[in-house]
A and B are shown apart, each in its own frame.
Chain A
Amino acid sequence: MPDDAATGTVSGDAAEGALAFLTEMTPDLRGAAIVGPGGAVLAASGDSDRWGEDVVALFAVADRAGGEPVEQVHIGAEQGEVFALRHAGLAIIAVTERFPLASLTFFDMRSLLRDLVAEKPLAAFPLPEDGKNDQRRAGGDD
């Protein structure tokens, strides 16, 4: 599950905004979820209950395989790829098509979690009507 270092609380609206932004930024994305402390699903693209269960199962298996709490998981299967990472009590999981730009995907996911934890998600993730976010792409959100 998300790591033990939970910090503060993240609203569902903020998580939904972050997830919408990730969807916008990742053309290969099929689905994603943001999970809070205790395994509560804050935002998900689809059946929240199933996302919660499957994410808990993934991290449980990964922690057992790694012998310690893992920070990131990247699994490439024939049918798609799974990215998962945890930060400050939150976890974000993304399922993509095969052969995405892995480092960029992890970078975007990590940035979103950090902004969520810093409680600046809605200001940082404006979704203009044309679907482009020049501010964030230019790296100038501060």
Chain B
Amino acid sequence: MAPKPHRVLLDRVSGYADEAAAYMRRRRASRRPFARLYLSGGRAEDHAADSVAGGELFVAAGKLIELAGKRPKP
């Protein structure tokens, strides 16, 4: 017996949601800390956390993150 039409639709939407959730999980797992600078002319450079410049950038960013604190609850 063929499934009811609304079941097909629900399964499809559910499948899309699962795909999106899996993408977000992969993104979170694969994304490492980074320091990226954008220069004139659209150039960009990444600085590794274990480099001297990268370390300084992370220290400076850490102070700002600490200063901002936690997100206020709505």
Contact = CB atoms under 8 A, between A and B. Distances in A.
A58 to B, nearest CB: 4
B45 A31 contact: no
Interface in B32-74: 33-40, 45, 47, 53-54, 56-72
Given A72-B37, A74-B38, A65 B47 contact: yes
Q: Specify the main secondary structure of chain B where it touches its partner.
A: helix
User: A interface, how many residues as a size bin?
Assistant: 35 or more
B60 A57 contact: yes
B31 interface: yes
A97 B73 CA distance: 13
Contacts, number: 108
B7 interface: no
A70 interface: yes
A30 B39 contact: no
Contacts of A46: 67-69
Interface stretch (A11-19, A47-55, A114-122, A132-140): A47-55
A28 B74 CA distance: 11
B28 interface: yes
Given A30-B70, A69-B40, A99-B31, 8 more contacts: A30-B65, A30-B72, A45-B68, A46-B67, A54-B60, A61-B60, A79-B66, A93-B64
Interface of B: 24, 27-28, 31, 33-40, 45, 47, 53-54, 56-72
List the 6 shortest-distance A-B pairs measured between CB atoms, nearest first.
A31-B68, A65-B53, A95-B68, A72-B38, A75-B61, A30-B68
